Amino acid sequence: MGTSDRYTVSRALYRRAQDLIPGGIHLSGRPLLDQNSSPLYFERGRGSRIWDADGNEYIDFVMAYGPYLLGYAHPEVDRAAAEQGARGSLLSLNHPLHLSFIETLLRHFPAAEMGIFFKTGSEATTAAVRIARRATGRRAIARCGYHGWHDWCLPAEDFVPEGLTTQIFVYDAMRPETLSALLDERRGQFAAVILAPEMIHPPSRETMVAVIEAAHRHGALFIMDEVKTGLRAPRGSMQAFYGVEPDMTTLSKALGNGWPVAAVIGPRAVMAHAAGMHLSATYHGDTSAMAAALATLEIVERNGVQETVWALGQQLIQGLNEAARRNQIPAEAYGEPIPPMPFLRFTHPDPARNEQLKSLVYAKVIAEGILLHPRHMWFISAAHDAAEIGRAVEVVDAAMCTVAARNPDLLERDGFRPKSESLNRALKTGL
Ligand SMILES: Cc1ncc(COP(=O)(O)O)c(C=O)c1O
């Protein structure tokens, strides 16, 4: 079966969506490759596996962009949410579970003493910068990384309010001097420096500390945006990994293992400024997602989840790098910034050839039932196992081997010509 026949139902749904949803998709549903080479619609997930609308099964490493630290449809988490739902998810005013949720969360983040709950990462980061403004009486924010879809954290384009460009500034965490220059230029204006820790890769404590110290030297609060890394990193967070204490932390994604929940936490002296602020929405108090989060936190405490995803991520990175070397493919696997968030980058110096190589390899890998994202870091869950990682490596290896054998011209670079080794291997294995 050609790969385009694999995705017939996906393509039909996509056509139907053109009349119903502007652009046919929400942005997190953008195609991995073109619609003939990758699936667009999925119907079911369990553990590390996901099934597309055509019935094809995948070992999934996209994992819905990060929430499923424990895997899809985790029985214990989903049971907790369903039981809570049966009592009425969202009740008038307050619920005791709001307190248990924050209390339990704080146990995982020793620098924090109070917290507020939300539904999405964007809400949490937006609330954190607003709290920082109130706490400092200042307006400007320095940001680095993706913090969500709200106006303040988008690139300044036509459709965000003009005034934002005088208050929101981007720095490069890998070059903390860019932050110092920014803060120096507008002394006394910055309320907060926010950083998504995946922007420092490979991880460097020295760089992280330089960012935090620059913020504090200028009287700005330091917000660590752990929406992706929270619960997934060793000891539960990148702040624990580095041994640093942010003034506020934003969390979502893995926290609810698929149920929408988010939080901002921090020391009392900072969080107290949130009292009475308008940081509220109708669904914030939903307790089903909080019950899911409590179950997730308990499983994470009990099961050594972080060690598992770290080891599996390392296995994948090592296997992919060996496969790239063996097949003379210009590509490099690495953790972004840590092994449970791995990625494979193609590194051909000619961008056009690089793009072609990448598309060919990914299309083959996806057609063999391994769902890898060509443009976004991947996520390992505790539901993956060593055999599945081995299978993923085997499939990527075979895809690289075939692509290398059939497209030697694509591999040529800076005087390098591929040896016939890949072709020989491909002929031997009949690929
Ligand atoms: C670091 C970080 N912060 C914030 C967000 C926004 O979260 P959400 O998509 O839940 O609004 C994301 C989402 O990917 C993220 O990765």
pLDDT-based confidence at residue 2 (cuts at 50, 70, 90): low
Find the 122 Cα to ligand 1 centroid distance in Å.
6
Three-class SS of residue 25? Answer: coil
In one letter, which amino acid is 20? L
pLDDT above 70 for 44: yes
For position 156, what pLDDT does the model report?
A: 77
* Angle subtended at Cα 128 by Cα 125 and Cα 132, rounded to the nearest 5 degrees: 140
266 touches ligand 1 (CB under 6 Å): no
CA 116 vs CA 249, 265, 277: distances in Å: 11, 7, 11
| Ligand 1 atom at minimum distance from 123 CA | 11
pLDDT above 70 for 201: yes
More confident residue, 165 or 239: 239
For position 421, what pLDDT does the model report?
A: 58
For 305-309, which contacts have Cβ atoms below 8 Å and span 24 or more sequence positions?
A: 305/69, 305/70, 305/231, 305/382, 306/231, 306/232, 306/233, 306/234, 306/235, 306/236, 306/340, 307/234, 308/382, 309/69, 309/232, 309/339, 309/340, 309/380, 309/381, 309/382, 309/384
> What would the pLDDT profile of 134-193 be if each residue is shown by its tens digit?
999 999 999 999 999 999 998 877 788 888 989 999 999 999 999 999 999 999 999 999
pLDDT-based confidence at residue 326 (cuts at 50, 70, 90): very high
> What would the pLDDT profile of 202-228 be if each residue is shown by its tens digit?
999 999 999 999 999 999 999 999 999
Find the 148 Cα to ligand 1 centroid distance in Å.
5
CA 143 vs CA 194, 252, 389: distances in Å: 5, 18, 35
Mean per-residue pLDDT of the chain: 94
> What would the pLDDT profile of 57-87 be if each residue is shown by its tens digit?
999 999 999 999 999 999 999 999 999 999 9
Strand partners, 416: 413
| Ligand 1 atom at minimum distance from 260 CA | 10
**419-430: average pLDDT:** 57
For position 416, what pLDDT does the model report?
A: 75
> What would the pLDDT profile of 247-277 be if each residue is shown by its tens digit?
999 999 999 999 999 999 999 999 999 999 9
DSSP 71-99: -BT-HHHHHHHHHHHHT-SS-SS--HHHH
pLDDT-based confidence at residue 431 (cuts at 50, 70, 90): very low
- Residue for token digits 């820790």? 197
- Residue for token digits 């049966």? 86
Three-class SS of residue 135? Answer: helix
230 touches ligand 1 (CB under 6 Å): no
39 touches ligand 1 (CB under 6 Å): no
pLDDT above 90 for 414: no
State percent of the chain over pLDDT 90: 89
Give start and end residues of each alpha helix (H) in 223-330: 238-242, 268-271, 287-303, 305-326
Count other C-beta atoms under 10 Å from residue 73's C-beta. Answer: 16
Q: Which of 178, 115, 175, 125 is nearest to 147 (CA)?
A: 125
254 touches ligand 1 (CB under 6 Å): no
Distance CA 297, CA 314 (A): 24
Strand partners, 332: 345
CATH fold for domain 75-303: Aspartate Aminotransferase; domain 2 (3.40.640)
**296-324: average pLDDT:** 96
CATH fold for domain 3-71+305-429: Aspartate Aminotransferase, domain 1 (3.90.1150)
Three-class SS of residue 227? Answer: coil
> What would the pLDDT profile of 330-362 be if each residue is shown by its tens digit?
999 999 999 999 999 999 999 999 999 999 999
Non-local CB neighbours of 387 within 8 Å, separated by 6+ positions: none
Give start and end residues of each alpha helix (H) in 330-420: 351-367, 386-406, 408-411
**391-396: average pLDDT:** 98
41 touches ligand 1 (CB under 6 Å): no
67 touches ligand 1 (CB under 6 Å): no
Count other C-beta atoms under 10 Å from residue 353's C-beta. Answer: 18
Three-class SS of residue 248? Answer: strand
Structural domain spans, the chain: 3-71+305-429, 75-303
**What is the pTM for the complete model shown?**
0.95
> What would the pLDDT profile of 108-137 be if each residue is shown by its tens digit?
999 999 999 999 999 999 999 999 999 999
| Ligand 1 atom at minimum distance from 125 CA | 4
Non-local CB neighbours of 368 within 8 Å, separated by 6+ positions: 395, 398, 399
For position 422, what pLDDT does the model report?
A: 55
For position 3, what pLDDT does the model report?
A: 60
381 touches ligand 1 (CB under 6 Å): no
More confident residue, 26 or 1: 26
pLDDT above 60 for 246: yes
**316-323: average pLDDT:** 98
**19-33: average pLDDT:** 92
For position 159, what pLDDT does the model report?
A: 85
359 touches ligand 1 (CB under 6 Å): no
145 touches ligand 1 (CB under 6 Å): yes
Dihedral angle computed from the Cα positions of residues 13, 16, 20 and 21, in that order, rounded to the nearest 10 degrees: 50
Sheet holding 248-251, edge to edge: 114-118, 262-266, 248-251, 221-225, 190-195, 140-144, 168-170
